[in-house]
Amino acid sequence: MPKRSIGLSEANARLHKNHSFELLVATWLMQAGWQVFTPLLDAAHAVDLIASDGPNSYRLQIKSIESQDDHHQVQNAWKGKHIDFVIYFAQRSNWGYVCPAFTSNQKRLDDSGHNRFDQNAKSFLAAFHTCEKAKSAS
């Protein structure tokens, strides 16, 4: 049985976990029929994934948080960038939020415009599709 023989530093373990959330979102979206694109470099634009249904494309930023509190204030780290949605995962729990990108400096996770999901495909897609419909209607 293969076994990893080299340990990860705390910083590398955190990086692995953050990227695993990006891959999880990509998998869920692809299973639902979305095309998913990953930028080769996202440093200048802060885009982790692009989801497209053909005529529409959405730029996504994936974040993980250490807090287990739904009332947690999240910081706007993408001001001046063209992001459509930010998807937050609670690192040590089984939930997350799909949030339309906001222009204020910070916002509570459980803001009325944000959609909570359990960490499974069905719950995530319901939250994403609700946000997507609300955003395209505005």
| Tens-digit pLDDT profile for residues 96-130 | 999 999 889 999 999 999 999 999 999 999 999 99
User: Can you tell me the distance from the alpha carbon of 135 to that of 127, in angstroms, rounded to the nearest whole number?
Assistant: 12
5 in a structural domain: no
55 in a structural domain: yes
Confidence of residue 51 (pLDDT cuts 50, 70, 90): very high
48 in a structural domain: yes
Kindly give the interhelix angle for 10-31 and 121-137, rounded to the nearest 10 degrees. Answer: 70
- Residue-level pLDDT at 132: 66
Sheet with 49-52: list strands edge to edge. Answer: 35-37, 49-52, 57-65, 85-90, 95-100, 115-118
Q: What is the CATH number of the domain that holds 31?
A: 3.40.1350.10
97 in a structural domain: yes
Q: What is the pTM of this model?
A: 0.87
What separation in angstroms does the CA of 11 have from each of 21, 39, 74, 125, 137? Answer: 16, 22, 21, 30, 40
4 in a structural domain: no
1 in a structural domain: no
| Tens-digit pLDDT profile for residues 4-48 | 778 878 888 787 788 899 999 999 999 999 999 998 876 667 899
Number of structural domains, the chain? 1
2 in a structural domain: no
Report which secondary-structure segment, H or E, holds 107: strand 106-108
129 in a structural domain: yes
Give the residue numbers spanning the domain of 130: 10-137
Beta-carbon contacts of residue 136 (< 8 Å; ≥ 6 apart):
56
- Say yes or no to pLDDT of 133 above 70: no
